[in-house]
Amino acid sequence: MSWTKEDLHRLIKTKLADRLFIVVSNREPYIHISSGDEIQCVVPVSGLTVALDPVMRACGGVWVAHGSGDADRRVVDEKNRVMVPPDEPSYSLRRIWLTREEEDGYYLGFSNEALWPLCHLAYAPPIFYEADWNTYKKVNQLFADAVLDEIGDRQAFVFIQDYHLALLSRLIKAQNPQVTTAQFWHIPWANPEVFRICPWGEELVDGLLGNDLLGFHIGYHCDNFLNTVNLLIEARIDYERSAVIRNDKTTLIRPFPISVDFDQISRDAASEDIKQEMERIRQTWKLNDKIVGVSVDRVDYTKGIPNRLLALDKFLAKYPEYQRRVVLLQLAEPSRTHIRKYKELNLEIDDLVEEINWKYQSGDWKPIIYIREHCSPPGILAFYRLAHFCIVSSLHDGMNLVTKEFISSRVDEDGVLILSRFTGAARELTEALFINPYATDDFAETIRKAIEMPKRQRQARMRKLRHTVEQNNIYKWAGNVISELTNLGL
């Protein structure tokens, strides 16, 4: 039996009882934006909202996040709160306001130019500026003040998300040691030799050890974290329990592989609307007699987009019989475009797409269709369903949810997943075809293998992949974190 939304509701009712449940993340689950004279409430595409929105609806807690919408301030009360979701107000969203300088230093600077490259092995060197670090500390304190204000003298669980808020649990506990906190780190944790270049590594690790529970996607990241603790600070490590004891305080370190809402995606993908959308895409891009590959990413240097294009180039050169027959549809969501490294990546991808298409195009066929825009969720499902194969070629990735969305959408039990070994998802999705994205020739060979795989084998693999994702869905992830959190003796 797989976990359902209802199981999660029941767990919350029994385990959380009347304690206040607070989620804290940089990104908000609902954004208010101006649309002419109206205000629109938008749900950003995010695995996190899918996972935690049902939890929040069930327990009616508070979600604290950075208010980033241009109409966000217009809908909040005097405590910067607004009830969400708009159609069924059930929990409160408390917004934190950041100045342009604070956003630059904390979000673009320390989070995304220092911590992001530090934690991903993608050969992009982190940039450390003391001013960014100071802003990061200041903004973590702003979040802590808001959380403490929400808690007052109640008993509370606080569930902190990601690398933007590494110092938060420590700052909360300094004021209110009774609060129980858990944090989930959505990106990899690098090995200690890599991590030690961070000038404030000790403070970051100490900050994270303010938590009672610290989660990563896979055991390997937990081990890297424990080894980093061992190298950087004074603490006792209990490898048996996977725990760190520092100044008599214990932090449990646990793997919780994140996932998607398998049932919902499967239902949506089987709908008549998606079938029509598939037809529309086929007509627009003239795909009717083509073998279609699909990739879906934020444009980020960790996702290995250039490596994928080079492998496709190699494949077409080595197997010219596939020219005019194979098309790679690359959906690319612009991301962090104010950071230089990302600007350079965009130029590199544009060049490669242009070069490869120029080299092979013939008549109205070109091998790469590059769609750089935010795509609606139904649009993405239609692309997944059209695909003969889906390529995920990350150089390093905490989990990678595109893999699980692709699998959940394949209600027809067909389609091949080509998957980088360097994703968290590779640990679970063992029926994928694995690649090393740096090994261009092997990668090209794997594209051929995916295309030529007999239908029976494709289906057998996809059936197993679907079973894995169905069993390990997003509700299991949330349920496991909450069970572990509530077992901490409160």
Give the neighbor-by-neighbor strand order of the sheet with 81-84: 81-84, 91-96, 62-66, 20-25, 156-161, 180-184, 213-216, 249-255, 243-246, 236-238
Nearest-approach distance from CB 342 to ligand ADQ, in angstroms: 13
> Taking CB under 6 A as the rule, does residue 405 contact ligand ADQ?
yes
Nearest-approach distance from CB 155 to ligand ADQ, in angstroms: 28
Q: Choose between 156 and 294: whose C-beta lies nearer to ligand ADQ.
A: 294
Let me know: does 63 contact 22? Beta carbons within 8 Å.
yes
Interacting residue with ligand ADQ among 61, 398, 415, 437 (CB under 6 A): 398
Touching ligand ADQ, residues 48-77 (CB under 6 A): none
Nearest-approach distance from CB 399 to ligand ADQ, in angstroms: 3
Burial class, 459, CB count within 10 angstroms (exposed 0-12 / middle 13-18 / buried 19+): middle
Peptide bond into 85 cis (omega under 30): yes
Nearest-approach distance from CB 371 to ligand ADQ, in angstroms: 7
Q: Choose between 54 and 398: whose C-beta lies nearer to ligand ADQ.
A: 398
Q: Strand, helix or coil at 372?
A: strand
Q: Choose between 11 and 401: whose C-beta lies nearer to ligand ADQ.
A: 401
Q: How far apart, in whole angstroms, are the C-alpha atoms of residue 395 and residue 125?
A: 14
What Å distances lie between residue 320 and 202, 291, 323, 324, 454, CA to CA? 54, 14, 5, 9, 21
Nearest-approach distance from CB 102 to ligand ADQ, in angstroms: 22
Let me know: does 305 contact 296? Beta carbons within 8 Å.
no
32 φ, ψ (degrees, to nearest 5): -100, 125
Instruction: State the number of binding residues for ligand ADQ (CB under 6 A).
Output: 21
Contact segment (CB under 6 A) with ligand ADQ among 231-239, 319-327, 400-408, 472-480 equals 400-408
Site string for ligand ADQ, 285-314 (x = CB under 6 A): -----------xxx----------------
> Taking CB under 6 A as the rule, does residue 47 contact ligand ADQ?
yes
Interacting residue with ligand ADQ among 399, 417, 419, 465 (CB under 6 A): 399
Q: Strand, helix or coil at 156?
A: strand
Q: Choose between 72 and 300: whose C-beta lies nearer to ligand ADQ.
A: 300
Q: Choose between 52 and 56: whose C-beta lies nearer to ligand ADQ.
A: 52
Give the neighbor-by-neighbor strand order of the sheet with 326-333: 368-372, 326-333, 291-298, 389-392, 416-420, 433-435
Touching ligand ADQ, residues 310-339 (CB under 6 A): 331-333
Are β-strands 243-246 and 236-238 bridged in parallel, bridged antiparallel, or unpaired?
antiparallel
Nearest-approach distance from CB 398 to ligand ADQ, in angstroms: 3
Smallest CA-to-CA distance from 258 within 349, 184, 174 is with 184
Nearest-approach distance from CB 452 to ligand ADQ, in angstroms: 27
Interacting residue with ligand ADQ among 20, 122, 258, 386 (CB under 6 A): 258
Q: Write the DSSP string, 388-428.
A: SEEEE--SSBSS-HHHHHHHHH-TTS--EEEEETTBGGGGT
Touching ligand ADQ, residues 174-233 (CB under 6 A): 186-187
Let me know: does 296 contact 308? Beta carbons within 8 Å.
no
Structure-block tokens of residue 173: 């506990």
Q: Choose between 258 and 390: whose C-beta lies nearer to ligand ADQ.
A: 258
Interacting residue with ligand ADQ among 375, 451, 453, 490 (CB under 6 A): 375
**Length of the chain as a residue count:** 490
* Residues found near ligand ADQ in the complex (CB under 6 A): 45, 47, 186-187, 258, 296-298, 331-333, 374-375, 380, 397-402, 405
